[in-house]
Amino acid sequence: MSLTTVATQKEGQKVPSVNFIMHNNDNWATRSTTDIFDNKTVVVFSLPGAFTPTCSSSHLPRYNELASVFKSNGVDEIVCLSVNDTFVMNAWAADQEAENVTLIPDGNGEFTAGMGLLVDKKELGFGKRSWRYSMLVKNGIIEKMFIEPNKPGDPFEVSDADTMLNYINPNAKAPDDIIVFSKAGCPHCAKAKSALAEQGLSYEEIVVGKDIKLKGLRAASGEVTVPQVFINGEHIGDSEQLINYLAK
């Protein structure tokens, strides 16, 4: 029986009953599946391992980025689960700055085994890990699952945040991708960031001289002055051009 066939059978079923062992603030604790799922709508995405390339570059960051949109569409919590110990998951959470996602260590693989998605990745030296998938759980019952196809390697085709959001609400609008190139102490940069904040728009700031060199700014924008603002890949320009754009 393939992974996909097994996993599809979990829709309409209750999530496995497990206590997750965690270490926070120098104290050991447990968090039960009852605490996570009862009387709540929860999005879960599970992946092969913390700090691994796809998990760190795409899977976790996008769920973190879309967390406010999920919340506005009725999701109470977003949970990232991996067959790693609590110290690895804590370190990964700090490294990723994924403040909008709850990282849960399934250290013994009990929950993943209960889902029928514990796989052997010994050829990579990983041992038993989770197959990549996502699911929507309402009051402990699995409503929908997106399970990656049973292919060699680590496919990442359907368990992404955008696919889940589209299932929950096909009309939901993802936030604009906004990048602000700035310099420390630049008053025009502060003006641009304030204009975005007034509109409730979040952005990623790239500081010239710290995160990127001047030639990087020139290569991206064709300019050597800051700020330079991009929205959804479109070069908007400096603070005055941004204010005019937002006014429209």
Residues designated catalytic: 55
Phi, psi values for residue 84, rounded to 5°: -135, 160
Supply 205's token pair: 């700031």
Whole-number Å distance between alpha carbons of 221 and 140: 48
Whole-number Å distance between alpha carbons of 86 and 131: 19
